[in-house]
């Protein structure tokens, strides 16, 4: 349950995070419900909803809002919004992904809020790894574990995120060979994994090609959609970890390509 903070203590970013969590829990929330739950005026809530709608996180209606779960082909919300959506589900997916790893492996940690949860579990478990990441937030997290040998790919920071893209990171990733890659993705349509940015899609393609095993960490809302550019197709070296059973047609397409699909929580494929 969300417990409202005192009006004087809450800042706009915190209010919007609470709104997103309430929408995730309830699906549809009215302006009056949000005002009562958070303890701020109706005009303040309307301004927050307008801001979230402009950012692409919610569908706005006259009396409230619903959470926007269908990703656009080229639009991606800023990290501080996407990281607040389905946090419990992402944590469950990340924990199972971390359980797949073993001491002394080399592992790529893709830039993703769900992969961040896996990295957090890796630190908690104290695993001894050689870790590569293109995410400065994940890099900071992994740097706190002295048993991890950390390499950061380099490049330019993508606006609105913690993702490094471009050179010298691309050349570094092209020459890399690792045991496992933990990958996030914007959309999965049948067996094709896509992203909103050409540079991000190429980065993910290099990461997937570098790994003996690829584990895609994908919240259920990612499936059945397309994004602007194909990053990679799945095959027998892929495991996809998600939080809910997939539509039969999507599951069949993934399994026909040889991929394993695992539902975090019940660990059934």
What are the 10-residue block averages of pLDDT along the chain, 269 residues in total? 44 77 77 88 90 81 76 50 67 96 98 95 96 97 95 91 93 96 91 88 96 95 82 95 93 94 73
Q: What is the pLDDT of residue 186?
A: 87
Q: What is the pLDDT of residue 82?
A: 55
Q: What is the pLDDT of residue 169?
A: 95
How far apart are the C-alpha atoms of 239 and 228, rounded to whole Å?
23
Q: What is the pLDDT of residue 24?
A: 66
Query: Of 172, 233, 176, 162, whose CA–CA distance to 201 is shortest?
Result: 233
Q: What is the pLDDT of residue 170?
A: 94
Q: Which residues pair with 194 in a beta bridge?
A: 187, 230
Q: What is the pLDDT of residue 18?
A: 78
How far apart are the C-alpha atoms of 164 and 201, rounded to whole Å?
12
* Full 3-state SS string of the chain: CCCCCCCCCCCHHHHHHHHHHHHHHHCEEEHHHHHHHHCCCHHHHHHHHHHHHHCCCEEECCCEEEECCCCCCCCCCCHHHHCCCCHHHHHHHHHHHHHCCCCCEEEEECCCHHHHHHHHHHHHHCCCEEEEECEHHHHHHHHCCCCEEEEECCCEECCCCCEEECCCHHHHHHCCCEEEEEECCCEEECCEEEECCHHHHHHHHHHHHHEEEEEEECCHHHECCCCCEEEEECCCCEEEEECCCCCHHHHHHHHHCCCEEEECCCCEC
């Amino acid at each position: 349950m969300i417990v409202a903070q005192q009006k004087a203590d809450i800042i706009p970013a915190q209010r919007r995070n609470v709104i997103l969590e309430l929408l995730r829990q309830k699906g549809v929330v009215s302006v009056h419900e949000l005002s009562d739950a958070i303890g701020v005026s109706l005009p303040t809530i309307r301004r927050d909803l307008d801001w979230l709608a402009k950012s692409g996180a919610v569908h706005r209606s006259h009396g409230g809002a619903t959470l926007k779960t269908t990703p656009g082909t080229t639009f991606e919300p800023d990290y501080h919004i996407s990281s607040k959506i389905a946090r419990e589900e992402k944590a469950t997916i990340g924990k199972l992904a971390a359980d797949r790893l073993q001491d002394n492996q080399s592992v790529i940690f893709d830039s993703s809020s769900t992969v961040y949860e896996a990295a957090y579990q890796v630190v908690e478990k104290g695993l001894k790894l050689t870790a590569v990441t293109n995410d400065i937030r994940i890099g900071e997290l992994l740097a706190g574990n002295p048993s991890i040998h950390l390499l950061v790919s380099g490049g330019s920071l993508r606006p609105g995120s913690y993702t490094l893209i471009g050179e010298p990171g691309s050349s570094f990733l092209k020459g890399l060979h690792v045991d496992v890659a933990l990958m996030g993705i914007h959309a999965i349509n049948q067996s094709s994994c896509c992203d909103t940015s050409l540079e991000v899609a190429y980065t993910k393609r290099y990461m997937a090609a570098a790994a003996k095993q690829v584990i895609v960490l994908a919240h259920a809302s990612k499936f059945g959609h397309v994004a602007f550019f194909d990053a990679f197709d799945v095959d027998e070296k892929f495991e996809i970890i998600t939080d809910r059973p997939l539509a039969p047609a999507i599951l069949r397409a993934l399994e026909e390509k040889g991929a394993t699909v695992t539902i975090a929580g019940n660990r059934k494929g």
